[in-house]
A and B are shown apart, each in its own frame.
Chain A
Amino acid sequence: MPALREKARIIDQDGIRRALTRIAHEIIERNKGTDNLVLIGIRRRGVPLARRLAGKIKQIEGSQVPVGILDITLYRDDLSSLNHQPVVRQTEVNFSIEGKKVVLVDDVLYTGRTIRAALDAVIDLGRPRSIQLAALIDRGHRELPIRADYVGKNVPTARRELVEVRLSETDGMDEVVIMEKT
């Protein structure tokens, strides 16, 4: 693994809060309320983001939107290029997604391969009416025809850089930084 150096802090705690508030408003507006709406967070950091969005939607609309957890390890297309074994975690979607408007939530949108795998995983759980995508950061460099419906911040990056989203639930603090390989 090459060493990484922190290049820039692009969003702080307030920035993340504001971005999520805006996304929550956009989700409600586009879906004309919260009827049949469900949020599904992609492990790992999509999960706390989905929970926070559900909290904000509740503040705005007063209704609780169900939140599920998706583990896409078994849906990845890079089985042969392994160099270490991942811990397969559990998918926890304890509600029917049949006919629902599903909003997938992830921290960073990059090549699009995670989302492609997540789409397969969601469709294996049932037949939703629609699937939308919310990402806190869109850093570009797509390898598949996938686009987010809700974006916290567009961050143009070089391929040699990494975008790291840190959340208090998983990392003890809220911030987004760009890391550079040295």
Chain B
Amino acid sequence: MYKHKDLLALKDLSAGEISFLLDTAKPMKEIITRPIKKVPTLRGRTVVNLFYENSTRTRSSFELAAKYLSADSINISSSSSSVAKGESLYDTARTIQSLGADVVVLRHPMAGAPHLLAKTVKAAVINAGDGAHEHPSQALLDLFTVRERRGKIDGLTVVIVGDILHSRVARSDIWGFTKLGAEVRVCGPPTLLPPELEQTGARVFYRPEEALAGADVIIMLRIQKERQRQGLFPGLREYARLYGLNRERLALAAPGALVMHPGPMNRGVEIGHDIADSTVALIEEQVTNGVAVRMALLYLLTGGGAHHEADH
């Protein structure tokens, strides 16, 4: 059961609610594999994608999810809307409300922006990434991908390597995997590991050789060059040498460990070319599963359909 109006953060959800979201994504994936990828479920509903930051995967994934469920979707990006004229999030929200949106998908550079929007509008709000806070739908697709491949989450060892400090994906992944019973290890240079990490239940490592030992799942994070102007590590080459995933490091993980990446990848930096290509199927599968997970979210947040056994 999922009883919230919005999806803002995995931190707020119970293990049962997360599992229910993943269960609902399973039949959605079957729809994606059909020749005609369309069901009439959300006919007449409107989904607004409001993106204050650039995105290819997340935005197109939500857009396709809405289209596959027959909802109408519109995209508003900050550069091509009145946001560029200085309109506040509050006023943009009121405009969206008046347009009759049923769901608003928000990406915003400020942590907490979706929470503010959720209080302002009647529509369901989905957090598609807020600052360095959370990116719950990405974590759900990671969970879905691992559960599909391994049949479970409970008892697995999941290692997240890279820039944890700036990563909303890492935060949502830590909450999601921990709640479903996995052991989560995070690893990166000390300057890229935020101080409060231990409180989330994750174990902190500074050397990938230690963190990767026996890992079932490895999630490599993108080095966000756009957020690295403060010089939190000396250089990309040194980062690649110390933290990049190469054959030797991968050999330390459990046999057949899953390698994942939220994309876009910096090949040769956080992930070696040969590994990126050998695991590319999984990274592409993450994108496909992303559509299924987002279909489930749109469906459940617009109410789902009541099914009465007696109503034949």
Rounded to whole angstroms, the CA-CA distance of A74 and B303 in the bound complex is 12
Q: Is the interface of B mostly helix, strand, loop or mixed?
A: loop
Contact B304 A86 (CB under 8 A): yes
**A78 and B305 in contact (CB under 8 A), knowing A85-B300, A111-B312?**
yes
Within 8 A of B (CB), among A78-93: 78-92
Instruction: Please give, as numbers and ranges, the residues of chain B lying within 8 Å of A125 by CB-CB distance.
Output: 34, 36
Closest to B36 in A: A124
**A89 and B304 in contact (CB under 8 A), knowing A75-B41, A79-B41, A125-B34?**
no
Interface residues on A, range: 35 or more
Contact A75 B304 (CB under 8 A): no
Interface residues on B, range: 20 to 34
Contact A110 B305 (CB under 8 A): no
- Interface residue? B234 (CB, 8 A): no
Instruction: Please give, as numbers and ranges, the residues of chain B lying within 8 Å of A106 by CB-CB distance.
Output: 312
Closest to B70 in A: A74
Within 8 A of B (CB), among A96-130: 106-115, 120-121, 124-126
- Interface residue? B310 (CB, 8 A): yes
Closest to B29 in A: A90
Contact B302 A85 (CB under 8 A): no
Rounded to whole angstroms, the CA-CA distance of A90 and B20 in the bound complex is 14
Contact of A120 among B20, B40, B302 (CB under 8 A): B40
- Using A74-B305, A87-B20, A88-B299 as known contacts, list a sample of 12 further A-B pairs with CB atoms less than 8 Å apart, ordered by residue number in A: A44-B309, A74-B31, A79-B41, A80-B303, A86-B305, A86-B306, A88-B24, A88-B27, A90-B30, A110-B312, A113-B311, A124-B34
List 15 A-B pairs, Cβ < 8 Å. A73-B27, A74-B299, A78-B305, A78-B311, A79-B41, A79-B303, A79-B304, A81-B306, A82-B304, A83-B306, A88-B299, A107-B312, A111-B311, A111-B312, A139-B312
